[in-house]
Structure 1
C-alpha cells in the first residue's frame, strides 16, 4: 500500500481526522496559491487514491454557504489537461465535479485512458446516461467524436459550460433510450441529478424536493440509423434501465460488436445483462481486474462496472 493511500484511508476510517483535514482542504481550495499546491498533490495520486479523495472531500462545499472564488482545478488525462472552472455561484457543484471526473467510477476512467493510449483507440464514443457529460468531456479532450444521451434537461447547460471552457464541442441528445419508443418521466432529488431514474423509486427518505420532467424515449438502433452514428465504444449508465437500452440497440450491437461499458449493481441484474450480451456475441469482463466473467462467482463484492467486448481477452 502506498503512503498516500494509507493516509487517505486513515482519514476515511477516523472522523476525528476528517474533522481536521476537511476544513484544511476547503481552505486550500479557496486560496489560489494553496489550491495550486493541492492540485499538484492530486496529480500524484493513483486512480484508486483519487476515488478515496473524492469520497472524502467531494462534498465539502455542500454547506449552504457562499464563498468568494474565481479559479479552476486542472485534471491530467491521457496526456491532456482538462480544466474545471470553480466559481462562487456554483462552487458546490464545480468542486464535486472536479473530483468526480477522475475519482468516480475510477476503473472506467482508467479503461478510457488505456484505450486512448492504445494502438487502436476508439473513433466514436456514445455516452448513454451522460448526466453532466463528464465521461464525454474526457473523450472529447482526446479528440474523439462523442455523442451524449441524457434525458434530464438540467444537465445540458452545465455540460456546455465545461465543454466551452475546454474548447471542445460534443453532440447532445436530450432524450432517454429504451427497448421501445414512448414517453416517460424522469425523477430525482433536487441537486442530485445523477440519481435521475425513469422507474418508480422511493425517495421518501430524502430531504430534498423531488423534481420531475417528461422525457421522450427512443431506441438505440433508431437513434443510430436516424443520425448516422457509428460508435465503437458505448457507455451505459441508466440507473437500472441498461437492459432495455441494450435490447433497443441489439441490431447495431450484433452487427458492429462495439465495446459496451455498463453498470449492474444487483446480482439478478448482472446475470440478466450477461446473458443478454452473451447472446449478442460479446464476452463480459471486470473493469477492475480485466478478467472474464463466466459466472456470478467471478464478480467481486461491490463490483458494479463491466465491459462487454468481442475480444477473448482484455489486457493493457
Structure 2
C-alpha cells in the first residue's frame, strides 16, 4: 500500500474514532432506532457510524467499496454487522471511483464532483490522485436482500442523488450529507425524495449528533435553510422522515 494511502487511513481513524463523539452518536441513534431495527450505512468509510448504530441496538448493513477501508472493515467490524463490499448507485454495474489518497473521505463515484468541489470552499487542498474500479449495487437490491431499513445513512460525496435513483419506494428515515459550498446537490436530493413520498426534514451540523431544529419542517423550509448557508460553512447531514 502506498504511503499516501496509509496516511489517509490513519487520518480517518484519528478523526472518526473519537471516544466522546462515538458516545454521542450512540445516544443519537438510540433516539432514532429501536432495538432490532434495521439500518443501512451507505458509505461506511471506517465504520464509526455502523458501530454506533449497532451499539444503539440496530441490525446493520454497511456498504463500502473503497480500499483500504473495506479491508479494514472486513478485519475489524463485529461479525453481526453485514459488510457489503460495494458502492450503491442507480444500477448494478461496475464503475470508476475518483480517489483522494490523502483525503479519502472525499473519494467519489460522481463524475462531476471533483471538478465542482475544486471550486468550493474547503477543497482547495484536495487532490484526486487515483482511480479504483468498484462494483455497484442499488438500494432496491439491498432491500430485496436484507429487508426494508428503518434508517438509511448516505454519505457518498456528491453521489447521493445517484444512490436514490436506484430506489423505487419511500424510506421511513434517511440522512444525506449536505455541503454548503454545493447546495444544488442536496436540493436535488430533496426533489428526489419528494418524488418518492412525503417527507419532513431536520439537519445536523457537522458531527454534532443533535438536530438543529426543535421540530421537523417541510421541504420548502429545508430548501430555504440550505440556500441561506454560508458557502464556507460546516457540512453535515440532512435527515428526512416519511410522514
Q: TM-score, normalised by structure 1?
A: 0.57
Partner of 1:279, secondary structure, is helix
- Provide the aligned C-alpha RMSD in A: 3.3
Residue 156 of structure 2 corresponds to residue 245 of structure 1: no
CA distance in 1, matches of 2:12, 2:89: 29
Matched, 1:222 2:136: no
**Does 2:66 match 1:152?**
yes
2:182 is the counterpart of 1:271: no
Aligned to 2:201: 284
- Number of paired residues? 212
Give the match for residue 232 of structure 1.
150
**1:263 and 1:304 in contact (8 A); partners too:** yes
Q: Is the 8 A contact 1:260 1:308 kept in 2?
A: yes
Larger Rg: 1
Q: Which runs of 5+ in 2 are unaligned?
A: 205-210
Distance (Å, rounded) in 2 between the aligned partners of 1:267 and 1:250: 24
- Point out the structure with the larger helix share: 1
In structure 1, the gaps of 5 or more residues are 1-61, 66-89, 312-316
TM-score calculated relative to the size of structure 2: 0.72
Aligned residue in 1 for 2:208: none
Distance 1:161 1:241, change over 3 A: same
**Structure 2 counterpart of 1:307, from 234, 239, 243:** 239
Within 2, Cα distance between the matches of 1:235 and 1:118? 12
- Of structures 1 and 2, the one with the larger relative CO (CA 8 A, separation 6+) is 2
SS of structure 1 residue aligned to 2:97:
strand
User: CA separation in 2, counterparts of 1:119 and 1:199?
Assistant: 30
